[in-house]
Structure 1
Amino acid sequence: MAIANHSTATLFALLALTQQPELQLPLFLLFLGVYMVTVVGNLGMVLLIAASPLLHTPMYYFLSSLSFINLCSSTVITPKMVVNFIWKKNLILYSECMTQLVFFVVFVVAEGYLLTSMAYVRYVVICSPLLYNVTMSPWLCSLLVLTAFILGVLSAVVHTSAMMKLSFCKSHIINHYFCDVLPLLNLSCSNTHFIKLLLFVIGKFNSLVPTLAVAISYDFIFYSILRIRSSEGRSKAFGTCSSHLIAVGIFFGSITFMYFKPPSSNSLDQEAVSSVFYTTVIPMLNPLIYSLRKKDVKKASRKVLVGK
């Protein structure tokens, strides 16, 4: 099927992660397995937290929301990427491309702010443990999660509205494995200076605000931990934060590398590796990171599965 070359694109072609034919099948099997683990892990975490009264706490409420976001964000990107490994013509309609962009932005922005809220939960747990149940009320928890999604939706509306004003009269081959902002901007023949500036400001805000909030929270957390006299208490406090710190480091690190590196360092291979981390790998790892060292998760799992 020919891809028309006119100002209003109706069809795009996506590039696979690699153009080497011998790698297509192994990568298909690899990412299909990753997606299956992601679905089972995140959906299992959501259902376990919903079914177990032991896990009906603010910390696990946020973890359930994070698992839901990871499940959705992976579903937006990974199935299409997996199919592209076995189809020769990796075509996507303009409407499908914009839809994918909308949901991608919603979930990636919401995840950043949700991780920030989870840092605040840990701040309250360690710095004000006696006020934990009062401070982290169900109303506040719901408000923080709702705010994360609202900010995600607002960012998606701005990003997508800006992209829909562009004309695509250059090549309609997207130099990426999904419809992301930067590859689409590179295809446009419109003047993108203002749009790039607008999206850069919004991107900076959505990355710097959560990063600063997390950093400030952990400054107070580490100060409180260092004042704990017993080594056992310090170890337990660090254990409470370790899984969250790993998730935050991987998520914000890959986002920063992808969107805020110098333009001269643009490379499809580098962008693909970075994008794979926050679209595919992180959604798979988060349930493992948060559950493997949690005794209450293992205990709740035994109760649900065995009844003991």
Structure 2
Amino acid sequence: MIVTAQLALGPDSTLPAVEGAARGLEAAGVAAVCVLDAADTGAVSPFESTTLCGRLASTTSEIGLVAAGSALYGFPYHLARRLATVDHFSDGRSGWMLRTGTATSEVSAYDWRSTLGRTAELHRAAEYTEIALELWNSWEDGAQYPDKATGDYKDDSRIHAIAYRSLAFRVEGPLDVPPSPQRRPVLLAEVGTAEEAAYLAPVVDVALVPDAALAAAVQEGDPTTLVLLVLPADTPAAEASRRCLDADAAGVSLECSTDTADAAAALAAAFGATRGPGGTLAAALGLAETLTHGGRAA
């Protein structure tokens, strides 16, 4: 069974504790750990998820490293280059958990305000994601080649501007980071309503849902999207198996903190958690053959 974990960081989270939690989850067969920082949990945390995943790339070897990041605020270009760098660091184990809601800290930090309702947020998130996907695909295969004699390392004829235009964004591109081992990060998102399922299922590779009804809504939105059921780490194994079966989910995403990561690892081991072969996060989730490189949202 596919098992992932959502690791929530808080004020007492320390680097050794986070590293230990990630290694324990890795040893239990967990396919990926998603790092939730202060913008996701609302609690003060000493770490930002993307840079922390870069650190975890050096202290783990198999588990996928998923950074939570806003798909509403900031610039898609900057997020795309940070996540591509994490993919280079981790030899293709990176992922992005799209945050499609507004954190309290973000309201005062950015000029754009989420004031037009949930539909407007989801539309903006889909565009934001589309831009990132197009940037990761702006280098063709074979565009990068190291030539020490000339000092060149790329074929400009195989690197293309994306020239993305919408009411919210104008991004010329291309990305200034060469293609990463996985080509692009795996995209994940929590889906809590039917409207979110309709907008996000065609955009992401993995949908995290709370119940069977939302699992069905995701499959209706895009039957190729991998569905994982979100469960607390202290859920009894028998109940977790029953709920996963009822939802017809491919696996589970366990909610934990550094204090409860051992419980999540134990539940994952009880499930017989396994990672697919191949080394990348896409391979671990069984998505290596179906992961698209270009945009999906348009």
TM range (shorter): under 0.3
Which TM-score applies when normalising by structure 1? 0.26
Greater radius of gyration (CA): 1
User: Counting helix residues as a fraction of each chain, which structure ranks higher?
Assistant: 1
